[in-house]
Structure 1
Amino acid sequence: MLTAGDEYPIHQTPEPVAFSGSDRNFYDRYFFNGYSADGSVFFAAAFGVYPHLNVMDGAVSILKDGVQKSVHVSRVLNMQRMDTRVGPMSIEVLEPLKRVQLKLEETEGIALDVSFTGRHFPIEEPRFTYRQGPRMLIDCTRMTQNGHWDGTLLVDGEAIEVKSFLGTRDRSWGVRPIGSKDEQPVLPLQIPQFYWLWAPINFPNLSLYFHVNEDGQGEAWNTRSVLAMDGADHDGLLHLNRPKMDVDWREGSRRAASATLHVEDGQGQAHEVSYEPLSTFMMKGIGYGHPSMGHGSYRGDLSVTREDLTPDNLPWQQPDNLHIQAIVKATHKGPGGQTSEGIGILEQLCLGPHAPNGWKDVLDA
């Protein structure tokens, strides 16, 4: 089936662009977040294309004064992957790998019209490949980039100028669980396990990144830490060595009270970054793990839904509340005692056993 995308030189297989290999869980997604200098206003958005489910969806969510207000949208893709609009929400690439426009026309009191400009060339993270038994659950590539936002937000009649906001965007594509759950269990049956931390931080003249996936024994199966000075090109990104994050968990929970990253630069000099959470953003507010409006779920020809959440009132151990982004104040201590302060997020999704923390079951703490 030929579509508008076939007019562009973007093919990756001998087939038309409408087809993406053979895995029904193939996806192609945008993610964004942005925050004021003091972290008091935070917004995030996701926008995904699911070619083999013939669905395109997205969500915008704004956290302010302890309340998170979201608009979820979904439509039938009709095989047209280049038409990046779902009802009132749209994505436009203004300058590849640098500038992107994100819009939500006013919908039930929520609106957004903002543009993102990257601070440096995007980081390509190591390919994520994760199996449970013989079944491939994740096989994807992701690029990440910090940057500046400009534009406006509207929240129930209150207009907010987005002028000095910082934030992060990523693009990922490949295979991960989407849409309806597979009814056939993975054999042999095992306790679900996933340990994920991600910390992109904006400092005054640089960005610092860390992520890790660990197995139940605490061994990293995917990790990287990168320092990017403003304006750095691909060859100017500094890959750091021996990254290790220590987390002090809030008593009786799997949410971080604080965290510290230890890492070395290319000269073997030690760097330390500490993270102090300020507030909590629920990732289900933009579809991640949402029980009824999850990514790739079929919700009719066009669906537009508003949802309000109060993160501090939601029980952490409920499965759809596990995945969060904590807005954090960060302090970087470099060689020679040099320090700087920044702001960013510490994303957390920790499910199942993890020996270093003494977790033995799905949700013990």
Structure 2
Amino acid sequence: MLTPQDDLLGHQTPGNFTDAGGGDVRFTERYWYTAHPVDGSALILDAGFGYYPNRGVMDAFAGITIGRRQINFRASRRLGLRPLDTEVGPLSLWVDLRTGRHHLALRENASGLSFELVFEPSLPATQEKQSRRERKGVLEEDLARVAQFGRWSGWLVADGQRHELRPDTWWGQRDRSWGIRSEMRTDHDKPPVQQHAQFLWTWSMFQFEDCGVSVFLKEREPGHPYYLSCSEVRRGPDGQVTHREATAVRHDITWADDPLGQTIREGVLDIEFTVGPPRRIRFTGLPARFYLKGGNYGGFAGWNHGDDRGEYAEAHDVWDLDDPAVRFKARTLSDHVMRVESEGATGIGISEYGVAAGYPLYPAPQQFPAL
């Protein structure tokens, strides 16, 4: 199907833009952002957009955790004749290619969350190793991802309270991914629910004043990753930026005594690189944590990423994170704010993680789902 997008440059096959990725309905492009105070206050904002050209859909979410309450906003629209408009209802995104700044806005809506924010890169973006996976000869995933550290400015309103964001007090991360994305279905309201066994994974982004380390690790046996993409970006006193890739990541994690789910208390990552000395990062879980089911990751309340909900649909809810029923539905996948220490410097970041039943280490949290 032809759309106005086909009048623009950027085609990479003889097909049109509604046949992206060979027409595979799983082809997805996503934006994702987090923002949190540097002082470790119990606040974290998440936002994201999903673009599904072969389904004719764009969806988006924004949410904030304040203390033990999480406020979620979700929306979806059909692409129609405006496939390139990164706007879904009151939530919009604009990327300034000249400055590299990302502008996000959420107009007033029924959720009570609204904001006008700007993400400004603090370090250059890095591309992760391509994630390509087949099972029994069938392609499950073929995905590219770019990650970047940055600082936030602007304002947000939640629960009737206004928060001012400044680059020296609010840091954060973003990623951008595209390709064939494996479906994750962990929504108890729309079975069947996928089962996962014998693996540990973490996708973590840790940053310091002039340095950032991003880690994506998946393994079934300790010390033997079946996927590892880890990079360090550092800005020197002269402003020169250096980049190096990791060859190995070892972990030692202590889990919190959380009766409702998997929660990291603290841990250590020992990282070896292709060049230069190794790095040890110590990390400690802080109170702020956004559960990504609030943004439909894995599906929530019968609504999964990319579902056609009609011309426009939206939903919102508020979660009590101390409620066992809420935590049962929220499961594990989350952006958990971490205080980090390395080489005499203190920083902050987020970690997504999970450990599945049968993995040789960390048996206690395996009573809960890994995703």
Question: Which TM class, normalised by the smaller chain length?
Answer: 0.7 to 0.9
- Amino acid of the structure 2 residue aligned with 1:304: E
CA–CA separation in structure 1 for the residues paired with 2:38 and 2:72: 22
- Amino acid of the structure 2 residue aligned with 1:17: F
CA–CA separation in structure 1 for the residues paired with 2:113 and 2:351: 26
User: Which one of the candidate residues 221, 226, 230 is aligned to 2:231?
Assistant: 226
RMSD: 3.1
Aligned CA distance change for structure 1 residues 220 and 79 (closer, same or farther; 3 Å): farther
- Amino acid of the structure 2 residue aligned with 1:298: D
1:145 corresponds to which residue? 148
- Amino acid of the structure 2 residue aligned with 1:310: D
Aligned CA distance change for structure 1 residues 216 and 76 (closer, same or farther; 3 Å): farther
- Paired residue total: 356
- Amino acid of the structure 2 residue aligned with 1:250: A
Cα deviation, 1:73-105, whole Å, max 9, x if unaligned, reads 111122643121111111111127922111111
1:35 and 2:36 are equivalent in the alignment: yes
Cα deviation, 1:134-188, whole Å, max 9, x if unaligned, reads 433221000000001111101132111111311000000111245989x9x9xxx
Q: CA deviation at 1:364?
A: 7.7
CA–CA separation in structure 1 for the residues paired with 2:133 and 2:98: 29
Q: CA deviation at 1:245?
A: 2.2
Asked if 1 retains the 8 angstrom alpha-carbon contact of 2:223 and 2:249, the reply is no
- Runs (4+) off by over 4 Å: 178-181, 189-194, 231-235, 265-268, 314-317, 358-365
TM-score by length of 2: 0.86
Aligned CA distance change for structure 1 residues 364 and 78 (closer, same or farther; 3 Å): closer
2:281 corresponds to which residue? 273
1:288 and 2:297 are equivalent in the alignment: yes
Cα deviation, 1:27-51, whole Å, max 9, x if unaligned, reads 0100000111123221011100111
Asked if 2 retains the 8 angstrom alpha-carbon contact of 1:354 and 1:360, the reply is no
CA–CA separation in structure 2 for the residues paired with 1:179 and 1:24: 14
Aligned CA distance change for structure 1 residues 206 and 217 (closer, same or farther; 3 Å): closer
- Map 1:68-87 → 2, pairs under 5 A: 68-78=70-80, 80-87=82-89
Asked if 1 retains the 8 angstrom alpha-carbon contact of 2:355 and 2:366, the reply is no
CA–CA separation in structure 2 for the residues paired with 1:271 and 1:174: 32
2:100 corresponds to which residue? 98
Asked if 2 retains the 8 angstrom alpha-carbon contact of 1:290 and 1:320, the reply is no
Q: CA deviation at 1:192?
A: 4.9
- Amino acid of the structure 2 residue aligned with 1:69: I
User: Which one of the candidate residues 245, 248, 258 is aligned to 2:251?
Assistant: 245
- Map 1:278-357 → 2, pairs under 5 A: 278-279=286-287, 280-292=289-301, 293-314=303-324, 318=328, 320-333=330-343, 339-357=344-362
| Structure 1, unaligned runs of 5 or more | 334-338
- The percentage of counterpart residues that share the same residue type is 26
